[in-house]
A and B are shown apart, each in its own frame.
Chain A
Amino acid sequence: MDRMRKIKRQLSLTLRRGNSGDKISETISPQDTTHSHSDSETMSVRGGGSTGSLRGSVRAGGGGGSFSMHSLLQSYGSALRRPRSLGRSLSSYLNHTTRLEIVHEDVKMGSDGESDQASATSSEGVHSPVRVRLRNNPGRKISTEDINKRLSLPADIRLPDGYLEKFCLNSPLFDKPLSRRLRRVSLSEIGFGKLETYVKLDKLGEGTYATVYKGRSKLTDNLVALKEIRLEHEEGAPCTAIREVSLLKDLKHANIVTLHDIIHTQKSLTLVFEYLDKDLKQYLDDCGNCIHMHNVKLFLFQLLRGLNYCHCRKVLHRDLKPQNLLINDRGELKLADFGLARAKSIPTKTYSNEVVTLWYRPPDILLGCTDYSTQIDMWGVGCIFYEMSTGRPLFPGSTVEEELHFIFKLLGTPNESTWPGITSNEEFISYNYPRYRADCLQNHTPRLDNEGVELLSKLLQFEGRKRISAEEAMKCPYFHTLGHRVTTLPDTTSIFALQDIQLEKEPGNRTSSLSDSVNSISRQHSLLF
């Protein structure tokens, strides 16, 4: 066995040496004009070379597995050109990571440059800070507004003392024109994309893939939520995280949580979100499950506003629940956790039907429908509307059967006239529910006025196509008391920018919620997967 080990080590050394020595020949070797099929075959013979006998002996010694592995490695590298094993491309990858860490890719979601994708991703050339500094123009006076404008930072950002002075001296930021690449370099100089920029405070929660911390940005002194996604997991970056980031980057709206920054390290991916004090679930708990009815209206409107923005962009949330709606002390409500959301254009029947949390899942999905569209989210809006008005969940079923039972008990067991086609749905038949008569919604929601009940019933329609859309819902009479100006605001303006829109004080508040640090431990579960 000792000999085996020696041979193996020698082999790996040879391979490594071979690779580095091959660099030159590799770049000048001409392309074969054969097909990739025949390529790989010839190369796996040709690629053997001097290491062939060594590998043979390894194999003879019993290392069969490693032999096939080597030849695979070889052919990956050699299929087209001279042997260039995975080892090399990996090491060059590693070099690149460190390099890329210096020049962080993206930085601030609020950027303007999504249109010029080509330049946005062209980071092949890494500008050394030295070269960057040559471009600056020290004489220029810089204001905070300038910086905010450049970086699309939130308007209320507070930059630390001494920050502007530093930038007057060595920043290329304000020397036009500024390419995306340069901007990225300069953002990185400021501290975006670096873990050191953020101080971890309390842990807010932990999930399978991610841990969420409350944090503070040293750059702005603002609180942030740091969602740390572990990457040791064998499947690589979780697909929920990939989808969440790729979607959130394009969503900029006052009622959607802002992704400030992404930090890559070897072991983790950290998403930096804006921090909001609590989610709707905690808000309900804190005010004794009795939200002021005016605030219910404000929250519902903001929920619809955020959702309408998503739906216009063909993005479905698919996982609406109170835990995913974050609320700050101003009363601004923001949609969070887009892990299950996806960009979607025309309905196809390919989505898995296990997507929405059971309590907020519409009956058509519960009965196996996979052909859904934006209406999938509207049922959940109805359930949340009810929960805000009454303080308890509408259909708290723990199994699909029980969930449907709750629904039919209130809305009546569907028949051909209330839901065409339902009597031929096999799942529906197999459950064999008793024939309930529809209850009057009004009896269950004493605090809700007639217009509110009307909206609720339009949201709680069995069939997806009959459910009211977010856009229509915002126009319904229930919201007329908010005035018409709320419907004409720019996307990124909060409804509280209007003078006459104000949050009412919650009468049932048990604690002054802001200084309540005990509760914060369990907060922001919504950011977990």
Chain B
Amino acid sequence: MDSFVTPGSMEAISSVYLTSAGKRDGDTETDTSREMKTHFRVCRFIMETGVKLGMRSVPVATACVLYHRFFQCVSVSLYEPYLVAMSCIYLAGKVEEQHLRTRDIINVCHRYFHHSSDPLSCDSEFWDLRDSVVQCELLVLRQLNFHVSFQHPHKYLLHYLLSVKSLVNRHAWSRTPVAETSWALLRDCYHGTMCVRHAPQHIAIATLYLALHSYGVELPVGQREWWQVLCEDVTKEHIDAIISDLLHLYDMEAKWT
């Protein structure tokens, strides 16, 4: 699954934003950046597993938010992040009415770690693992205080895209994959904690903003900026903060590969 987009034009923008926001991690690897990387990998795992399980975008997003919220409350050194991630996937399925079976989750995750091995047989240790997932789901529920329904940016982005599309020259729109890019950027947002730190509307605006800028698509200028028209309470600072967070993620990924 190649979800991570890095269009060429992104790098130029990336450098602008990163310098304007100030480089946040120095050369020494701090605990926070190490944690960020762990969460990045585990979220990648959630998304890949989600695709293999046939989960829709919103349940996958819910799983990531559950995961991030959980580790906002507890230290990552206390719990096995991949187990928590499996439970978050399971719980997200329940919350978003796309029920998944533990057996499927375990099989898919097993394959993720062991590409060529056979599925686990139904022995007592399989049951133990299943119990762990179920128990850990309870732990997540408890830690999050049963606050497990979230508003996601997806539906807002969809509406914004429809509105913006009507403002843009039809040919320009068909030439540039703004919709696909903003959607991919939105999905990538879930690799970091911005999905729990920013309002869903703001994230939707920011990903659309970045996608439009990446392709140099210009919108008609009126009395107010287009994003002010779409979402009343968003400011340029919000957009910049989200974009900077997102580019920071891309930057981090680019550095370690």
A-B complex is real: yes
Interface residues, chain A, with chain B CB atoms under 8 Å away: 26-27, 30-31, 33-36, 39-41, 44, 64-66, 68-73, 75-77, 79-80, 84, 86, 88-90, 92-93, 96-97, 100, 105-106, 117-118, 120-124, 231, 234-237, 239, 242-243, 245-247, 249, 262, 264, 269, 342-343, 345-346, 350-352
- The stretch of B36-44, B164-172, B208-216, B226-234 that contacts the partner chain: B36-44
B125 touches which one: A69, A79, A234, A249 (CB < 8 A)?
A69
| Distance of A338 from chain B, by nearest CB (Å) | 12
Contact across chains for A123 and B139 when beta carbons are under 8 A apart? no
* Chain B: interface size category: 35 or more
Task: Write 12 A-B pairs (CB below 8 A) sorted by A numbering.
Answer: A36-B41, A65-B125, A93-B139, A121-B73, A121-B145, A121-B147, A236-B90, A236-B137, A237-B137, A239-B99, A269-B138, A350-B56
- The reply to whether the CB of B180 lies closer than 8 angstroms to some CB of chain A is no
- The reply to whether A66 and B125 form a contact with Cβ atoms under 8 Å apart is yes
Interface centre among B125, B128, B256 (most CB of A within 10 A): B125
Q: A69-B120, A80-B38 are in contact. Are A44 and B79 (CB under 8 A)?
A: no
**With A69-B120, A72-B110, A96-B78 in contact, do A342 and B97 touch (Cβ < 8 Å)?**
yes
Least Cβ–Cβ distance between B252 and chain A, in angstroms: 10
- B82 contact from A76, A97, A343, Cβ within 8 A: A76
CB neighbours (8 Å) of A345 from chain B are: 151, 155
- The answer to whether residues A65 and B123 also contact, given A31-B38, A237-B137 and a CB cut-off of 8 A, is yes
- How many angstroms between the C-alpha atoms of A33 and B148 in the bound complex? 32
> Could you say which residues of chain A place their CB within 8 Å of the CB of B19?
none
Q: Which of A44, A121, A237 meets B114, CB within 8 Å?
A: A44
Q: Are B125 and A75 in contact (CB under 8 A)?
A: no
Is the CB of B141 closer than 8 A to any CB of chain A? Answer: yes
Tell me the dominant secondary structure on chain A's binding face: helix
Task: For residue B104, give the distance in angstroms from its CB to the closest CB of chain A.
Answer: 12
Chain B hits for A65, CB < 8 A: 120-121, 123, 125-126
Which B residues are in CB contact (< 8 Å) with A234? 102, 130, 134
The answer to whether A121 and B69 touch (CB under 8 A), given A44-B113, A72-B114, A92-B78, is yes
In whole Å, how far is A68's beta carbon from the nearest beta carbon of chain B? Answer: 6
Partner of B81, one of A80, A93, A246, A351: A80
The answer to whether A245 touches B78 (Cβ under 8 A) is: no
Q: Are the CB atoms of A93 and B145 closer together than 8 Å?
A: no
Give A76 to B129 CA distance when docked, in angstroms: 11
Whether A79 contacts B82 by the Cβ 8 Å rule is yes
Q: If the complex has contacts A89-B83, A97-B139, are A27 and B77 also in contact, measured as CB distance less than 8 A? A: yes
A106 to B41 alpha-carbon distance, docked (Å):
31
Q: Which chain A residues border B144 with CB–CB below 8 Å?
A: 121
Whether A76 lies near B80 (C-beta < 8 A) is yes
Complex CA gap A88/B137 in Å reads 17
Given contacts A242-B95, A242-B141, A351-B97, contact A89 B129 (CB under 8 A): no
- Are A31 and B34 touching (Cβ within 8 A)? yes
Taking the complex as formed, is B174 at the interface, i.e. its CB lies under 8 A from any CB of chain A?
Answer: no
Distance to closest chain B CB from A240 (angstroms): 9
Given contacts A66-B123, A90-B132, A346-B155, contact A121 B97 (CB under 8 A): no
Chain B residues within 8 Å of A118, by CB: 72
Q: Which residues of B contact A342 (CB under 8 A)?
A: 97, 149
Query: By the criterion CB–CB under 8 Å, are B44 and A76 in contact?
Result: no
Q: State the CA gap A69–B114 with chains docked (Å).
A: 11
Contact A72 B147 (CB under 8 A): no
B94 contacts chain A at the CB level, 8 A cutoff = yes
Q: Which residues of A contact B130 (CB under 8 A)?
A: 234
The one of B94, B95, B113, B123 in contact with A69, judged by C-beta atoms closer than 8 angstroms, is B123
Residue of A nearest to B74 (CB): A124
| Among B97, B134, B135, B149, contact of A350 (Cβ-Cβ < 8 Å) | B97
Bound together, the chains give a CA A88 to CA B78 distance in angstroms of: 10
A237 touches which one: B72, B99, B141, B151 (CB < 8 A)? B141
Tell me whether A264 and B142 are in contact in the complex, defined as CB-CB below 8 angstroms, given that A239-B99, A351-B97 are known contacts.
yes
Instruction: Give Cα distance in the complex from A39 to B90, angstroms.
Output: 24
A123: B residues at CB distance < 8 A: 73, 143
Decide if B117 is an interface residue (CB 8 Å cutoff). Answer: yes
Instruction: Tell yes or no: B88 within 8 A of A by CB.
Output: no
* B223 within 8 Å of A (CB atoms): no
Whether B113 lies near A68 (C-beta < 8 A) is no
Chain B residue at minimum C-beta to C-beta distance from A64: B121
Partner of A31, one of B37, B69, B118, B257: B37
Contact for A246 among B56, B78, B146, CB less than 8 A: B146
- By beta carbon, the residue of chain B nearest A74 is B113
Give the chain A neighbours of B80 by CB distance below 8 A: 76-77, 84, 86, 88-89
13 other contacts beyond A86-B128, A90-B135, A247-B149, with CB at 8 A cut-off? Answer: A35-B41, A36-B42, A40-B114, A65-B123, A80-B82, A89-B79, A93-B79, A93-B135, A106-B145, A237-B94, A242-B141, A243-B149, A264-B138
- Chain A CB within 8 A of B160 CB: no
Residues of chain B within 8 A (CB-CB) of A33 are 37, 256-257
Of B83, B136, B149, B155, most buried by chain A (CB within 10 Å of CB) is: B149
User: Contacts A71-B114, A75-B114 hold; do A122 and B73 have CB atoms under 8 A apart?
Assistant: yes
B20 interface residue (CB < 8 Å to A): no
| Contacting residues, chain A, for B125 (C-beta < 8 A) | 65-66, 69-70, 73
Q: Which residue of A lies closest to B38 (CB)?
A: A80
Chain A CB within 8 A of B115 CB: yes
Q: Once bound together, how far apart are the Cα atoms of A88 and B69, in whole Å?
A: 22
